[in-house]
A and B are shown apart, each in its own frame.
Chain A
């Protein structure tokens, strides 16, 4: 729907906006759409979206607990969303020894990642078949 809106209505306006605002618009769109995905029902989704815009207290005991609990993951995710890890690997790979090291470690890292992702799947905390809901 957002893509349609952008193509038909918002496209020109978005192109004229400063880059920072365009980025903020994208973040907001992503946040709202993830809330819709996560919600078990429309009213729940509505409450969650309302919470983004002042419909809920700014902080709560549960919120602070979640922030503390997910702090490392948030940091890793923020780092992963930047070009830094890729740049670091590219820099290491630029040397001969580094290139060999990356070649050996990459399959091992991927295998470990596959096993960890499988572990999360098996524990039932993550359902990849998100689109079964639709």
Chain B
């Protein structure tokens, strides 16, 4: 093949690929959601004089063009393959593969963030429950078990725990780190597996002084094809997890009141799997993220009767709270990422209940999200 012909083929190929891509972009309808990335995709921006002159249109169009690119998921997989296997890079967009698991880099430790979290907990205690028994526990993120031993940088978890303990006087710390391991977390997700939380739930119950009511007699219910949050971020073909949720007469008989929607559901909201609104199967646990939920166990008996817990939590709390239901008549879950602390008194009645702050190390390291 002579140079002229080769160059013509090159030019023709380039034009075909770019023109073909452009045509596909025009023909293919815009998508609203990316299931793999768990987010809404940017839509075509409105063309207004203000937007164009202000530069906002260009930025918005840039986001739109990338989000609606034809074959986006395939291209993301190609990039992930290049990143991990050709260039031998250790992570792709902060997501790494280790021991058959997918983890997310979380480093370095933000001491100011940990101190901010401690300050938030202390101010909540002072404002709403100065005389209650208050506890604090941290959920180690998966990187605690995977990062350092596989050559990835990790948080200084010891420092984080000591910063929190030193700055939360009067709040009792319950250590959960030794009750967990990498295999107790979903492979494709950040969260822990509910069916593996016996030791963790028992440790919490013991720390809260309610272990005499703690039971572990559950039926496992399996939901196949759980593609966790890291699956989309890794952008590589990975076998899905099986999500297991645990039921018992206690969980079946309990009701969950949502202060936001003023609606009542069960502990496990299977409607989330089919309503088309949720992009996360993990939302089965207590219907996903909510500002204030009140879980009531009408069958509470013995010492659990009349016992109440306020659980300040992030998403990890959704799957462990049902495992403490035998120990309490009421568990109120509060997520101060979704409600400002100043308004809590309007939704939660504080009258001397046990209080537990249960947060993942990722949230503590980014505590600006706690309002």
Asked if residues B17 and A65 are in contact (CB atoms below 8 Å), the reply is: no
Task: State in angstroms the CA–CA spacing of A112 and B153 once bound together.
Answer: 33
Q: A62-B153, A123-B235 are in contact. Are A69 and B91 (CB under 8 A)?
A: yes
Query: Which secondary structure dominates chain B's binding surface?
Result: helix
Q: What residues of A have a CB within 8 angstroms of the CB of B82 in the complex?
A: 116, 119-120
Asked if residues B78 and A110 are in contact (CB atoms below 8 Å), the reply is: no
Cβ of B79 under 8 Å from chain A: yes
Q: How many A-B pairs fall under 8 Å by CB?
A: 81
Task: State in angstroms the CA–CA spacing of A69 and B82 once bound together.
Answer: 13
What distance in Å separates the Cβ of A114 from its nearest Cβ neighbour in chain B? 6
Q: What residues of A have a CB within 8 angstroms of the CB of B17 in the complex?
A: 111, 114-115
Interface string of A92-134 (1 = CB under 8 A from B): 0000000010011011001100111011111111010100100
Cβ of B306 under 8 Å from chain A: no
We find that the number of chain B residues with CB closer than 8 angstroms to chain A is 36
Q: What residues of B have a CB within 8 angstroms of the CB of A121 in the complex?
A: 66
Cβ of B72 under 8 Å from chain A: yes
Q: What residues of B have a CB within 8 angstroms of the CB of A71 in the complex?
A: 88
The residues in B between 32 and 65 inclusive whose CB is less than 8 angstroms from any CB of A are: 55, 58-59, 62
What distance in Å separates the Cβ of B132 from its nearest Cβ neighbour in chain A? 40
The residues in B between 4 and 37 inclusive whose CB is less than 8 angstroms from any CB of A are: 5-6, 9-10, 13-14, 17, 21
Task: State in angstroms the CA–CA spacing of A105 and B21 once bound together.
Answer: 23
Asked if residues B79 and A110 are in contact (CB atoms below 8 Å), the reply is: no
Q: A69-B91, A125-B93 are in contact. Are A118 and B152 (CB under 8 A)?
A: no
Asked if residues A122 and B79 are in contact (CB atoms below 8 Å), the reply is: yes
Cβ of B69 under 8 Å from chain A: yes
Asked if residues B6 and A107 are in contact (CB atoms below 8 Å), the reply is: yes
Q: What residues of B have a CB within 8 angstroms of the CB of A5 in the complex?
A: none
Interface residue ranges, A against B (CB under 8 Å): 61-62, 65, 68-73, 76, 100, 103-104, 106-107, 110-111, 114-116, 118-125, 127, 129, 132
10 of the cross-chain contacts (CB-CB < 8 Å) are A68-B90, A106-B6, A110-B10, A116-B79, A116-B82, A120-B79, A120-B82, A123-B75, A123-B235, A132-B58
